[in-house]
Amino acid sequence: MDGPFATAAATAVDDCFRHLGRDAVYTPDGGAPVTIRVIARRPDEIVGFDETRIHAGTAMFDVRVSEIATPRPGDRLSLDGDDYVVQGEPVRDAERLIWTLEAYPAGACPA
């Protein structure tokens, strides 16, 4: 992605993270911790099991690609005193500026 749109998109993403993001600590599995900005989302997920519906809290974090080049399952994220473990493969947005990480609370059994 090059050109004026790329520059405008990167500027808009940086502005969103500056105003809406929160400081967090990201620790790659086996690596050193780094301070980053995240936008946390915790959408409710309803999981069906036979005729039962289970309400499961999920944790999703948007992170700038410029801050984490290659997040992986098993990496850790700490936010406001809570620790999370990245599960599943992180996904990038269409402009390849933002990673979306799905995570579960550290110490909990992954879904």
Torsion over CA: 48, 43, 83, 74 (sign): positive
Nearest to 102 by CA among 92, 36, 89: 89
Would you state the pLDDT for residue 58?
73
Q: Residue with structure tokens 């990038």?
A: 92
Mean pLDDT (whole number) for 105-111: 73
* pTM above threshold 0.75: yes
Which of 59, 65, 66 shows the shortest CA–CA distance to 88? 59
pLDDT in tens, 51-81: 666 555 578 999 999 999 999 999 999 999 9
pLDDT at 24 > cutoff 70 = yes
Instruction: Please state, in angstroms and rounded to a whole number, the distance separating the CA atoms of residues 66 and 73.
Output: 18
Q: Using pLDDT thresholds of 50, 70 and 90, give the confidence band for residue 25.
A: very high
When the pLDDT of each residue in the chain is averaged and rounded to a whole number, the result is 87
Which CATH number fits the domain 4-105, given the four candidates 1.10.3470, 2.40.10, 2.30.30, 2.40.160? 2.40.10
What's the confidence (pLDDT) of residue 75? 97
- Give domain limits for the chain: 4-105
Sign (positive or negative) of CA dihedral 60, 78, 72, 22: positive
